Structure 1
Amino acid sequence: MLIVIFVLVLWYGSLFFQSFFLHRYAAHQVFTMSKVMERITFVLTWIFQGSSYLSAYGYGIMHRMHHAYTDTEKDPHSPSHDANLFAMMWKTKTIYQDINKQRITVDDRFTKNVPQWKGFDKFASSRFSRLLWISIYILVFVYFATAWWHWLLLPITFLMAPIHGVIINWFGHIYGYVNYQMKNTSKNLFRFDFLMMGEGYHNNHHKHASRANFGVKWYEIDITYLIIRLLDALGFIHLKPIRLKD
């Protein structure tokens, strides 16, 4: 039971910081925060994403490119142009690394105000850091796994962030329902997004990319947005005024 709780904490902790920090802050900047709070969030993202840590800089730029080029050949990740989800994951990894290591030229519109902490990112993305987290996960399983099937969950801890990305960027463009007919394949995965904390309302997000709340219908409860509202009320962050049109 402890192993299941451990994996669930990593799942939702990693997912929250990917949605809250990398997606809604770094890529879309739907709220602001102080430099100190930003640095704290960098560290928390590393702690919860662990071996699959993603930099805000690489993620933010790549996600902006996804919105600009959705479902075209320039899209960093699209079921419309990738043979399968593994091919898409490899392509995404390559583009992400090329951005971070500045091996490709990126249009200025994609880099504007994207947060970057070069020194920390270099450490958090290093082989040492990733192997350290993998070792910690293995030790946790050695001490607390009590059933053979618990070990089937171990690879998920290694690849948490890419798994979250695949669910939205592959399945979120194939399965689900739409509230808005657009010139792309984005879908809403769930009526109530219990699995992805609001990220599953992908069709809504492509229609209103600058909105903090990804839910539109009354039943589309965006859990990450509710936490954002709480953090705003407590003064940790500051939500920008709601924009009904992008």
Structure 2
Amino acid sequence: MECPMIWTGLLDWSVGSLCGVTLVLTQIAIASVTLYLHRSQAHGGVKFHPALNHFFRFWLWFTTGMVTREWVAVHRAHHTHSDQEKDPHSPKVYGIKEIFFKGLSYYRKACRDDSIIEKFGQGTPDDWVERNVYSKHTSLGYFIMLGIELCLFGLPAFVIWGIQLLWIPLWAAGVINGVAHWWGYRNFETRDTARNIIPWAFWIGGEELHNNHHAFGASAKFSVKPWEFDIGWFYICVLSSLGLAHVRQTFPKMPESSDLVDLTRSELMHSLLKARWSFMSQYMKRVIRPVFSKEQRNHKAKGLGALPLRCISFIQDRVVISDRKQKILEHVLSEYNDLNIVYEFKQRLVSICHRDHRTKDFIEDLIAWCDDAQATGIHALASFSDWVRDYLPQSQEVSSSVSS
């Protein structure tokens, strides 16, 4: 006996086919969020063809009801105040359970804050269709979508539609805004608690690499390490090969010192600040690890066994370690003077790179840091300071430029 069309819809697809189409529809929505709203509109890391931009706008209205200006404003506010009191959706401030289960509510609350929208929503589309359709009738799109899906799929459309409406609140508002600031690994010691959930980011459009993104938000590519995969970047590469995308920025690499010779001091500061994570990565490689290995050898020579290797990870990123690990780190640092010194210099270098700077102050702070590093007598630290000096003008050049 055949089922009535109200059950099966015009297509009369199997359960497997319905699951497949649900996955495709939700992944298009995720791609629209990460490519258009996030990497293009919020951060300007990539520019898309106008026709593709409008497809993204339409699909987001059609399947989620999200408004470009609101999403961009809330996200920029998140980056500006990440994990601080004014962060619209920080699990550090509000708790992981609150953000995971009520992330959509926090997003909507921020959308109703006119000061956030006015301050952070600049530069987003403001044409006739945005004002009169997408922003004005936010719920119309997904009800039209329900009607179309009922015709095509029958009663199972209610399940498909429900999954589509829950997809972004669960995976973006709950998992990325919540879990990605609570659990995972970190490549960079950002001032917030952003983490990478997994290195192979394919399920949530590449957004799983959240710590990488917070380290340099303007990058269109979220993967940094050779073993990491960002499916959003894969999409961008495909679209770029078709002439539909133009990449504006990716994660900055440490420039060669010879490339900086003819730069003004302002340009030099900008280049070094953009590459500050490369500085910190080199510090771990050239200073922390050699000094740690030396302390380990001395430790073993005294018959005291080996220092726990996990201490390196504590030293690399003090922002997110637990109180118990903090006590272990403090004990180790109190026992090993050279390790404590290079750790303090690391914290000082992080502070220099994170501060808001005028050009003269930044360069003078780095030169002073190098002078003090040389004075410690620790070979690895002195060698690193020599490497940093290759990127800087001489002390007298800075002084003369100030006096003039």
Instruction: Please report the TM-score for the alignment, with normalisation by the length of structure 1.
Output: 0.83
Q: Secondary structure at the match of 1:195?
A: coil
Find the partner of 1:62 among 74, 79, 82. 74
Displacement after TM superposition at 1:10 (Å) = 1.8
What is the number of residues matched between the two proteins?
232
Bigger proportion of residues as helix = 2
- Equivalence for 1:26: 41
Q: Secondary structure at the match of 1:104?
A: helix
- Cα distance in 2, alignment partners of residues 12 and 156 from structure 1: 12
- Equivalence for 2:109: 94
1:115 and 2:125 equivalent? yes
- Cα distance in 2, alignment partners of residues 156 and 185 from structure 1: 30
Summarize deviations over 1:178-198 as a string: whole Å, max 9, x none. Answer: 111222111101121231121
- Cα distance in 2, alignment partners of residues 222 and 39 from structure 1: 24
- The structure whose RCO (Cα within 8 Å, separation 6+) is larger is 1
Contact 1:79-1:88 within 8 A present in 2 as well: no
Larger Rg: 2
- Equivalence for 2:184: 176
- Equivalence for 1:185: 193
Contact 2:221-2:250 within 8 A present in 1 as well: no
- Cα distance in 2, alignment partners of residues 29 and 71 from structure 1: 23
Q: Secondary structure at the match of 1:80?
A: helix
Displacement after TM superposition at 1:25 (Å) = 0.9
- Cα distance in 2, alignment partners of residues 139 and 159 from structure 1: 21
**Share of identical aligned residues, percent?**
25
- Cα distance in 1, alignment partners of residues 151 and 51 from structure 2: 32
Q: Secondary structure at the match of 1:238?
A: strand
The 1:71/1:23 distance shift into structure 2, 3 A limit, reads same
Q: Secondary structure at the match of 1:184?
A: coil
- Equivalence for 1:157: 164
The 1:38/1:194 distance shift into structure 2, 3 A limit, reads closer
Contact 1:176-1:189 within 8 A present in 2 as well: yes
Displacement after TM superposition at 1:136 (Å) = 4.3
- Cα distance in 2, alignment partners of residues 138 and 57 from structure 1: 31
- Cα distance in 2, alignment partners of residues 190 and 105 from structure 1: 31
Unmatched runs of 5 consecutive residues or more in structure 2: 1-15, 253-273, 276-404
The 1:142/1:169 distance shift into structure 2, 3 A limit, reads same
The 1:33/1:207 distance shift into structure 2, 3 A limit, reads same
- Cα distance in 1, alignment partners of residues 59 and 117 from structure 2: 28
Instruction: Please report the TM-score for the alignment, with normalisation by the length of structure 2.
Output: 0.52
- Equivalence for 1:9: 24
Contact 1:78-1:170 within 8 A present in 2 as well: yes
The 1:232/1:188 distance shift into structure 2, 3 A limit, reads same
- Cα distance in 1, alignment partners of residues 107 and 94 from structure 2: 10
Summarize deviations over 1:117-174 as a string: whole Å, max 9, x none. Answer: 222313551x3333333444566664558xxxx95x6632222221232110011111
Task: State the one-letter code of the partner of 1:57.
Answer: R
- Cα distance in 1, alignment partners of residues 162 and 56 from structure 2: 25
Task: Please identify, of 82-91 and 133-142, the stretch whose mean Cα deviation from structure 2 is larger.
Answer: 133-142
Q: Secondary structure at the match of 2:229?
A: coil
Q: Secondary structure at the match of 1:199?
A: coil
- Cα distance in 1, alignment partners of residues 55 and 227 from structure 2: 33
Task: State the one-letter code of the partner of 2:115.
Answer: I
Unmatched runs of 5 consecutive residues or more in structure 1: none
- Equivalence for 2:92: 80
- Equivalence for 2:59: 44
How much is the aligned-residue C-alpha RMSD, in angstroms? 2.5
The 1:176/1:138 distance shift into structure 2, 3 A limit, reads farther
- Cα distance in 2, alignment partners of residues 139 and 175 from structure 1: 42
- Equivalence for 1:211: 219
- Equivalence for 2:329: none
- Cα distance in 2, alignment partners of residues 33 and 228 from structure 1: 9
Displacement after TM superposition at 1:80 (Å) = 1.3
Show structure 1 runs of 4+ deviating over 3 A. 33-37, 44-47, 103-108, 134-145
- Cα distance in 2, alignment partners of residues 22 and 227 from structure 1: 15
